[in-house]
Amino acid sequence: MNSYIDLHCDTITMLHERKEDLKHNRRMVSISALQEGNALVQSFSAFVPTGLYPKPVRNFLTWRTFSRIADKKDRLLELHSGELFPVLSVEDIRKCRESGKVGALFTIEDAGVVGNRPERLEEAYRRGVRIASLTWNHENTLGYPNSPKKDVMKKGLKPFGLEMVEKMNELGMAVDVSHLSDGGFWDVARICRKPFIASHSNSRAMTGHPRNMTDEMIRALAEKGGVMGLNFAPAFLTEQGKESRIDDMVRHVLHIRDVGGSGVLALGSDFDGITGELEIDSPAKMPQLADALLKAGLTSTELDAMWSGNICRVFEAVWR
């Protein structure tokens, strides 16, 4: 059975109750579910929606929130050290394969948590962050978000955002364009010296949500050697946006493959960040998607690449 790497979930951020951990919780992601689904690496985001914090104290409060989530991540990794392994390098992924443990990769959703202080990006790297999305759904110090408003969508990165992309390249932190404006995407495509990713985005040609990527973007991402993680959210899979079905996931994957090639395919479930009627509502059900993709015409080589090979190639190029 194929082992996979999932580029995005919000589980650790959502573990609000004191007694909740990654063995005992009411969330989509648990250690037992990861093991049952044959997860190789699960990415856990520190989700801090900076635009929802009051401006006078935003820079202070959002960084404090990020730090608390990072502390929680560290405690959980220590608590579950028998089952989880912290992923900081490509070599760590190899160790996960050898040990049978599930890799835990730490990410940031909304790099606006750094405010206007570059040294905070370095601190985030020291805390284990290896992927960071430049924005969430609001303007931040780096740039502008995806939006149904054309005037917002065409805006690019701010000067500080351009600086942070360069700094992420230097540190060895993957630049994530999911949630970014179209203008910001093209800025990243222009200046990023290493492959970049869209951790949890689908095809806009298949479903016209602004969070999804146009065919032109998919081709540009592929040309840069990057990947895009299939998002399981109903709104990104169908125009109705109520149900998340395997058939619609397959439809998106086949289109993305036809546009950008099989090398751009990856997984970004968004578990514990999505709601609705979900056919795959747990990592334990990932083999169902694998079976459906093979039946739809993906070769076993293409599936292996989508499940882990493509993103490992990106990590080899990006991480130091």
Q: Each residue of 166-206: pLDDT tens digit?
A: 999 999 999 999 999 999 999 999 999 999 999 999 999 99
φ, ψ (nearest 5 deg) of residue 130: -125, -5
- Where is average pLDDT lowest: 11-20, 127-136, 277-286? 11-20
Specify the amino acid at residue 62.
Answer: T
Which residues have C-beta within 8 Å of that of residue 216, sequence separation ≥ 6? Answer: none
Tokens of 254: 């086949």
Q: For 52-99, what is each residue's pLDDT tens digit? A: 999 999 999 999 999 999 999 999 999 999 999 999 999 999 999 999
pLDDT of residue 141: 98
pLDDT of residue 1: 64
pLDDT of residue 75: 97
Query: What's the pTM value of the predicted model, to 2 decimals?
Result: 0.98
Rounded Cα–Cα distance for residues 52 and 138 (Å): 8
What is the DSSP secondary structure assignment for residue 308, as one 8-state letter? Answer: I
Strand duo 243-244 + 227-230: pairing: unpaired
Q: Whole-number mean pLDDT of the chain?
A: 97
pLDDT of residue 18: 80
Confidence bin at 17 (pLDDT 50/70/90) = confident
What is the DSSP secondary structure assignment for residue 302, as one 8-state letter? Answer: H
Closest CA to 175 of 150, 151, 142: 142
Mean pLDDT of 134-144: 98
Closest CA to 92 of 83, 73, 105: 105
